[in-house]
Each structure stands twice: as structure tokens, then as C-alpha cells.
Amino acid sequence: MASEKVIVLDDNNFEAEVLQSSIPVLVDFWASWCAPCKAIAPLVDALANDYDGKVKVGKVNVDESPATPAKFGIRGIPTLILFKDGKVVDQVVGAVPKSQLEALLNKAL
């Protein structure tokens, strides 16, 4: 069950929601067939709740919106990229512990 705080991102709304955001944005690039993506999904949802108002959290389905992952050179999923002021601040590839994701977010705050 996805958190209602997680924004569904696609090729059409990515620029407005992420690149023009006034607060940092954590973007999870995933696919429905990807087991590690499913494993990390509850952590991403929890972070959306924990950092509500401080960081936006969104997900891009790489199969449904291929242009955006291509633009950022996504080769493996899950890839989580942290954006701040429209720029890539940091990124993590693979299912990582929540503590690693929290450290990533705290760097941008």
C-alpha cells in the first residue's frame, strides 16, 4: 500500500514536480517486475511520511515513462536520486537500509 504522500511522477510532470520544486525531492525509479524495487517500496513510503513538508518523495515507473530515466542515465533499478534546486545532489542504486536513505535526505536539509 503506497503512501498518499508519494507523488506519481512521469515524463509529463517531472519537471514541474521535481526540477522546479522549492524543497528537495527524492525520486524512486522503479518497475513493477523488479523485486528489489518492491522490497524498498515500504521504506520509500515511510520516508514520505517521516519527511512530509521537508522533502517531497516521488516514484517514476521506468516502463511507463522511459524518457525521464534515460535523461538521468538510469541503468539499474531501484535507483533513488535526490534532487535539490533542480539538480542531482546524490543517488543510491539498489535496495539499501532506511538509515542510508535518511542520511542521504539529511544532507539536503
Inter-residue contact 21 to 74 (CB < 8 Å): no
Catalytic (active site) residue 83: no
Distance of alpha carbon 82 from alpha carbon 73, whole angstroms: 14
Q: Strands, DSSP E only, in the chain? A: 6-9, 25-30, 56-61, 79-84, 87-93
Q: Residue 33: name the closest of 1, 2, 61, 73 by CA.
A: 61
Catalytic residue from among 18, 25, 37, 105:
37
Catalytic residue from among 6, 25, 27, 34:
34
Catalytic (active site) residue 97: no
Residues with active-site annotation:
34, 37
